[in-house]
């Protein structure tokens, strides 16, 4: 009513985007990506989901009794190269293993923040570089016109 638009249009937006929560969430909102890259990458999101369920004793869509954690299953979070991954509030945790996930959850239970970004469980990586290191752009680029014409 306030927006002067049909309620269905508001509902469509509120249910499409994962940033809009129609019910209260815990202090730590865990959003686990379960789309194909995260399902197939590294340890796989199915194993990470089972770890979270076991450690926190909740299912997808539930909040722990103490109100600390809410678990959501979401579509792509945009870090496919570092799969599997989860977001906790605004922080991304990538390249997850069961051990990484348990450590992160235990840190949150103790009200500590874990290191964000790629985790060490799947070998060391900086940002979204390949695990084996850079494979291209390893030297200075040639100048304009390189290999365009023989007379240049």
**pLDDT value for 10:** 87
**pLDDT value for 99:** 94
- Which neighbouring-strand residues pair with 69? 28
Below-50 pLDDT ranges, the chain: none
**pLDDT value for 33:** 93
How many Å apart are CA 93 and CA 84, to the nearest integer?
Answer: 9
**pLDDT value for 141:** 80
Are the CB atoms for 88 and 99 separated by under 8 Å? no
Are the CB atoms for 86 and 31 separated by under 8 Å? yes
Locate tokens 């070998």: which residue?
Answer: 123
**pLDDT value for 138:** 82
pTM of this prediction? Answer: 0.77
Q: Which residues does 125 contact at the CB level (< 8 Å), separation at least 6?
A: 82, 95, 118, 131
Selection from 27, 42, 98, 33 nearest residue 60 by Cα: 33
- The DSSP letter of residue 122 is G
Crossing angle for the helix pair 98-109 and 45-56, to the nearest 10 degrees: 30
**What stretches of the chain show up as alpha helix (H) in DSSP?**
7-16, 36-40, 45-56, 98-109
How many Å apart are CA 71 and CA 1, to the nearest integer?
Answer: 31
């Amino acid at each position: 009513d306030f927006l002067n638009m049909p309620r269905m249009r508001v509902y469509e937006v509120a249910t499409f985007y994962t940033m809009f929560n129609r019910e209260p969430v815990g202090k730590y909102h865990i959003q686990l990506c379960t789309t194909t890259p995260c399902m197939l990458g590294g340890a796989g999101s199915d194993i990470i989901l089972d770890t979270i369920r076991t450690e926190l004793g909740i299912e997808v869509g539930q909040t722990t009794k103490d109100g600390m954690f809410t678990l959501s299953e979401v579509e792509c979070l945009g870090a496919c190269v570092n799969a599997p991954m989860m977001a906790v509030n605004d922080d991304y945790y990538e390249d997850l293993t069961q051990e990484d996930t348990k450590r992160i959850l235990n840190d949150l239970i103790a009200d500590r923040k874990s290191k964000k970004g790629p985790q060490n469980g799947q070998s060391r990586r900086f940002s979204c570089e390949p695990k084996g290191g850079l494979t291209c752009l390893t030297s200075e680029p040639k100048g304009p016109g390189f290999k365009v014409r023989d007379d240049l």
